[in-house]
């Protein structure tokens, strides 16, 4: 049977699992319809939440796994502020394995952004891109590379069957079937995991707009039973040092994974920007970002491939940096742990990020080990 979204209603605060907590003080800020008022209100709300979140302490363990790089249009990566005449640059997918203590006192494991490159390549945008760049990125490369589940086992000693939750900051180019129900007669990669997702992402898959179609895999949840999905309405605090903060704009159901890493501080995982400098363009090493900030008074530069709501995405980036600590990458830059950071490459010769956040490897993994 295909995925039947009406059977997966969004959970309001009173219906959330006992080990989740709604974060009404953040979500209520999105009720304000006037963009300017909403921006400043959510900035203040983010700063207040950050103080409470930081004082609660870090997650138990955090590990980073770098995945394959992929080409991406410069015009999308730095909306209104392209730093080069090159058509494409390279970004690298990155997933994170987190162990944390939930509100019932149990240790849980969540896998963040475990993208399957060969499945993502089926999305309309990448299907067309592959035709343009096939000499540089042969299809065999995707077939040979280990996926996130295999990498977690090989590099971290993690048993994918011990992962409790899977989540993505948004569902662009994601196909969840291999991970949650299996494919081709093979068992699921994460047989005991549930997907945590904002209900707006599910609603988007029900009826894609033509401008959304290049970025979504329409069958992404076909055959996934309702009991494998936790559809939330807004922001949720999952446990000590870990929250999913609703940050709409890039997609309507976008959420940022906010975590406290021991010894490193509070970070936000996001693809709203493609490098930490996108969140403080006046301090960027890229002249076009500095000029954009000076010319328009812009305090962020959007990753603008979808722009379902540009003003909401701008506000979401400000919210992210109001929650995150600063300085891990250097200077005043907020601790934004980009889910797909842009990297130096021959595709966009001569440009690269001045500031990068080093892979985070902190705390201990105990619950998820094979």
Residue that has been written with the tokens 């975590």 in this structure = 259
With a cut of 80, say whether residue 365 has pLDDT above it: yes
CB 152 within 8 A of CB 160: yes
Q: What would the mean pLDDT of 339-365 be, rounded to a whole number?
A: 95
CB 31 within 8 A of CB 49: no
Residue 4 is predicted with a pLDDT of 44
pLDDT in tens, 40-83: 999 999 999 999 999 999 999 999 999 999 999 999 999 999 99
Residue 244 is predicted with a pLDDT of 98
DSSP, residue by residue, 140-207:
HHHHHS--HHHHHHHHH-B-GGG--EEE-S--TT---HHHHT-STTPPPSSTT-EEEEEHHHHHHHHS
Q: What would the mean pLDDT of 267-273 be, rounded to a whole number?
A: 98
Coil, strand or helix at 259: strand
Q: What would the mean pLDDT of 136-141 be, rounded to a whole number?
A: 62
Q: What would the mean pLDDT of 335-341 be, rounded to a whole number?
A: 97
Q: Express as a percent the part of the chain with pLDDT over 90.
A: 88
With a cut of 60, say whether residue 7 has pLDDT above it: no
What is the enclosing helix (H) or strand (E) of 70? strand 61-73
Homologous superfamily, domain 5-344: Ribonuclease Z/Hydroxyacylglutathione hydrolase-like (3.60.15.10)
Q: What would the mean pLDDT of 274-303 be, rounded to a whole number?
A: 97
- Place 15 in a pLDDT band, splitting at 50, 70 and 90: low
Tokens of 359: 């892979």
- Place 1 in a pLDDT band, splitting at 50, 70 and 90: very low
pLDDT in tens, 152-169: 999 999 999 999 999 999
- Place 196 in a pLDDT band, splitting at 50, 70 and 90: very high
Question: How many angstroms separate the CA atoms of 192 and 196, rounded?
Answer: 13
Residue 130 is predicted with a pLDDT of 78
Residue 133 is predicted with a pLDDT of 74
Residue whose C-alpha is closest to residue 95's, from 141, 149, 142, 153: 149
pTM above 0.75, yes or no: yes
**Domain boundaries along the sequence of the chain:** 5-344
CB 5 within 8 A of CB 206: yes
- Place 5 in a pLDDT band, splitting at 50, 70 and 90: very low
Q: Express as a percent the part of the chain with pLDDT over 70.
A: 93
DSSP, residue by residue, 117-155:
HHHHTTSHHHHHHHHHHTTTS-HHHHHHS--HHHHHHHH
CB 357 within 8 A of CB 328: yes
With a cut of 50, say whether residue 2 has pLDDT above it: no
Distance of CA 193 to CAs 118, 159, 163, 181, 231, Å?
21, 12, 6, 10, 14
Q: What would the mean pLDDT of 268-297 be, rounded to a whole number?
A: 97
- The pLDDT mean for the chain works out to 93
Q: What would the mean pLDDT of 297-319 be, rounded to a whole number?
A: 96
CB 255 within 8 A of CB 27: no
């Amino acid at each position: 049977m295909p995925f039947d979204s009406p059977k997966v209603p969004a959970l309001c605060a009173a219906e959330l699992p006992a080990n989740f907590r709604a974060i009404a003080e953040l979500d209520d800020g999105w009720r304000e319809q006037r963009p300017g008022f909403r921006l400043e209100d959510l900035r203040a709300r983010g700063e207040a939440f950050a103080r409470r979140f930081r004082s609660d302490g870090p997650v138990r363990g955090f590990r980073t796994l770098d995945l394959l790089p992929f080409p991406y249009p410069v015009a999308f990566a730095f909306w209104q502020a392209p730093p080069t005449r090159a058509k494409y640059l390279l970004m690298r997918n990155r997933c994170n394995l987190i162990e944390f203590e939930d509100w019932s006192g149990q240790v849980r494991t969540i896998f963040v952004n475990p993208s399957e490159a060969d499945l993502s390549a089926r999305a309309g945008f990448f299907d067309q891109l592959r035709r343009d760049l096939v000499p540089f990125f042969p299809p065999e490369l995707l077939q040979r590379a280990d996926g996130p589940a295999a990498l977690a086992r090989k590099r971290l000693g993690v048993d994918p069957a011990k992962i409790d939750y899977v989540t993505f900051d948004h569902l662009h180019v994601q196909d969840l079937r291999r991970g949650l129900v299996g494919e081709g007669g093979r068992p699921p990669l994460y047989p005991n995991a549930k997907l945590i997702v904002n209900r707006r992402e599910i609603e988007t898959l029900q009826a894609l707009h033509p401008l959304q179609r290049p970025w979504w895999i329409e069958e992404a949840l076909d055959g996934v039973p309702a009991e494998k999905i936790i559809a939330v309405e807004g922001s949720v605090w999952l446990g000590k040092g870990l929250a999913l903060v609703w940050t709409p704009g890039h997609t309507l159901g976008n959420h940022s994974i906010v975590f406290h890493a021991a010894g490193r501080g509070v970070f936000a995982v996001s693809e709203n920007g493609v490098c930490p400098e996108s969140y403080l363009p006046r301090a960027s090493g890229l002249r076009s970002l500095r000029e954009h900030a000076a010319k328009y008074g812009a305090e962020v530069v959007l990753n603008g491939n979808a722009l379902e709501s540009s003003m909401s995405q701008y506000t979401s980036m400000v919210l992210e940096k109001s929650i995150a600590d600063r300085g891990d990458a250097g200077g005043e830059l907020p601790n934004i742990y980009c889910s797909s950071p842009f990297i130096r490459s021959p595709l966009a010769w001569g440009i690269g990020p001045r500031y990068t956040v080093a892979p985070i490897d902190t705390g201990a993994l105990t619950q998820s080990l094979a």
